[in-house]
């Protein structure tokens, strides 16, 4: 029996209400990946942040605050559900595999690992460097991720993060928050040997809304840079 059949997984899409083109893209991919119904996180757009239950330092720009609040909202809804695992996709996530089995092969094994864990599914333009996971060394490495366009997390890990965020003020973007505090929570961070998602804003498929340095470049430049970086990553994987 596959993970898709035996686990009760919630799928959440982090999006902005007005990003219709991105929502259409991710909806089509969800269907192709057999992920079924997804909860779209429209809450905590920039214009409603003043009502947000989570607190942020002034050093964070408003777009980063909104993005982090949406990720935390996904975990809040997950904690209130009966699901065992949460898959979070940002609305610009692009699936790289040719078949959904590329994703579900990872999920099948991930759910067998002990509680308090997270698997980054994206970051395709950066090689997965780290020690092989002892249970599934051919699939996973013990390594923090660099982007949050796609990941799966279990209930224990989500509840630890949510509990901390309810009591403290976030001073980091959500990806850096995960990197900094997961050791403290005892959450194991994993990356697959080969990423199955990337960010459309990294590839130039969508305009970026968070990364100011990326926004200074044209889409053509971003497309070329991503392809070069992806070639280097694949070369490293082949030589490993």
pLDDT in tens, 170-215: 999 999 999 888 988 899 999 999 889 988 776 676 666 655 565 5
Q: What is the CATH number assigned to the segment(s) 3-239?
A: 3.90.550
Task: Please state which of the ranges 43-52, 103-112, 142-151, 231-240 shows the lowest mean pLDDT.
Answer: 231-240
DSSP character string of 25-45: HHHHHHHHTT----EEE-TT-
Give the separation between CA 81 and CA 83, rounded to whole angstroms.
Answer: 5
Please report, for residues 7, 61, 124, 137, the alpha-carbon distance to residue 222 in angstroms, rounded to integers and kept in the order given.
37, 23, 14, 33
pLDDT in tens, 33-74: 988 789 999 999 999 999 999 999 999 999 999 999 999 999
pTM: 0.88
Give me the residue spans of the domains in the chain: 3-239
């Amino acid at each position: 029996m596959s993970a898709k059949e035996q686990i009760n997984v919630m799928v959440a899409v982090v999006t902005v209400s007005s990003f219709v083109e991105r929502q259409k893209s991710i909806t089509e991919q969800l269907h192709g990946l057999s992920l079924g119904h997804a909860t779209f996180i429209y809450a905590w757009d920039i214009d409603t942040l003043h009502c947000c239950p989570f607190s942020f330092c002034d050093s964070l720009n408003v777009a980063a605050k909104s993005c982090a609040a949406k990720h935390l909202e996904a975990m809040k809804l997950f904690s209130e559900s009966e699901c065992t695992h949460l898959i979070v996709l940002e609305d610009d996530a692009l699936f790289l595999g040719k078949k959904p089995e590329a994703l579900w092969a990872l999920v099948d094994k991930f759910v067998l690992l002990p509680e308090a864990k997270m698997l980054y599914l994206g970051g395709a333009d950066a090689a997965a460097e780290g020690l092989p996971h002892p249970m599934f060394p051919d699939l996973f490495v013990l390594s923090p991720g660099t982007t949050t366009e796609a990941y799966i997390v279990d209930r224990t890990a989500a509840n630890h993060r949510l509990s901390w965020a309810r009591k403290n003020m976030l001073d980091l973007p959500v990806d850096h928050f995960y990197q900094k505090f997961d050791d403290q929570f005892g959450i194991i961070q994993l990356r697959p040997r080969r990423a199955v998602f990337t960010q459309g804003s990294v590839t130039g498929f969508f305009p970026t809304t968070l990364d100011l340095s990326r926004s200074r470049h044209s889409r053509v430049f971003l497309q070329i840079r991503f392809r070069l970086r992806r070639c280097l990553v694949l070369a490293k994987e082949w030589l490993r």
